């Protein structure tokens, strides 16, 4: 087992994990005012690779836009909306910081499938929660998209060790990927992600979701959002592996979500699996995104 203190130091200090890119900082600091569409479009177009990938996502079948999208302004104004483009841009930027090629057992497409499916379901379930439990947040999609960012970080830093982790997933002992990673590396992806999110000075709700989405005992300030994303992440994992759904009724009841609402969102995601897979493939395409 690798010393956990050493791993934490490496995650915090190694140059391979850079500070939050300037482009991501700019996007996160922008308001969600529709008047800022042109400002966002102009900002993103300064990075041709990033803007091309967002336009590609806007043309995905999942969003159902009948005409081809060719400009960033049209992608924002006609198809995705300002907030969704911000979410997708930050996800692409941060996901593009890691190089997982040396870990042959890591599936980039599976990672993005789980991230996208989690984000979609979390966003769709969020309005079914009582207003008091939503905590006035409006970035639930990005919370879902980034919830497992610690996984590619560990793959980037420790490809050989993580090559021993993935084959043991879904084994007969029923242990989670986080538990196996903790056994082999001394740290789980959620812990690594939490350290990374703090290094990047991300908003506190992001930090808590990343660090505690798989912790059923978490009762901190953002427990409702962390548990909502965790529930959706488990459902997303079931979709990919064609496994049966776990019983989330107790958790969703605490979150004020009815079984009917959960079933509706689940069935909608199942009906859109091909669209989610297409988005995951677009996210997983190699592309250099400037900071």
Identify the segments of the chain with pLDDT beneath 50. 288-291
- What pLDDT score does 173 carry? 65
Contact 82, 31 (CB under 8 A): no
pLDDT of 288 reads 45
3-state secondary structure 158-182: CHHHHHHHHHHCCCCCCCCHHHHHH
Q: Which stretch of DSSP H or E encloses residue 114?
A: helix 108-125
Q: How far apart are alpha carbons 228 and 147 in whole angstroms?
A: 11
Task: Return residue ranges of the chain for CATH 1.10.3210.10.
Answer: 99-291
pLDDT at 290: 47
Q: Whole-angstrom distance between the N-terminal and C-terminal Cα of the chain?
A: 34
Asked: is 99-291 a CATH 3.40.140.80 domain? The reply is no
Residue 64's pLDDT is 80
* Per-residue confidence (pLDDT) for residue 68, from 0 to 100: 82
* pTM for the whole structure: 0.91
């Amino acid at each position: 087992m690798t010393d956990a203190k050493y791993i934490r130091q490496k995650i915090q200090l190694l140059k391979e994990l850079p500070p939050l890119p300037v482009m991501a900082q700019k996007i996160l600091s922008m308001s969600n005012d529709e008047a800022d569409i042109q400002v966002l479009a102009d900002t993103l177009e300064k990075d041709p690779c990033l803007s091309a990938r967002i336009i590609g996502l806007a043309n995905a079948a999942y969003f159902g836009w009948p005409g081809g999208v060719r400009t960033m302004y049209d992608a924002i104004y006609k198809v995705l909306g300002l907030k969704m483009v911000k979410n997708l841009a930050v996800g692409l930027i941060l996901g593009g910081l890691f190089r997982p090629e040396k870990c042959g057992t890591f599936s980039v497409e599976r990672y993005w499938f789980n991230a996208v499916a989690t984000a979609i379901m979390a966003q769709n379930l969020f309005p079914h929660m009582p207003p008091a439990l939503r905590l006035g947040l409006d970035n639930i999609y990005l919370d879902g998209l980034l919830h497992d960012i610690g996984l590619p970080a560990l793959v980037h830093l420790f490809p050989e060790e993580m090559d021993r982790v993935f084959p043991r997933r879904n084994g007969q002992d029923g242990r989670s990927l986080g538990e196996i990673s903790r056994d082999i590396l001394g740290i789980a992806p959620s812990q690594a992600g939490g350290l990374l999110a703090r290094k990047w000075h991300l908003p506190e709700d992001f930090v808590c979701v990343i660090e505690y989405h798989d912790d059923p005992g978490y009762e901190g300030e953002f427990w409702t959002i962390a548990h909502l994303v965790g529930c959706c992440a488990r459902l997303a994992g079931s979709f990919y592996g064609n496994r049966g759904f776990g019983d989330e009724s107790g958790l969703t009841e605490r979150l004020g979500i009815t079984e009917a609402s959960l079933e509706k969102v689940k069935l909608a995601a199942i009906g859109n699996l091909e669209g989610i897979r297409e988005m995951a493939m677009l996210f997983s395409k190699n592309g250099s995104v400037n900071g």
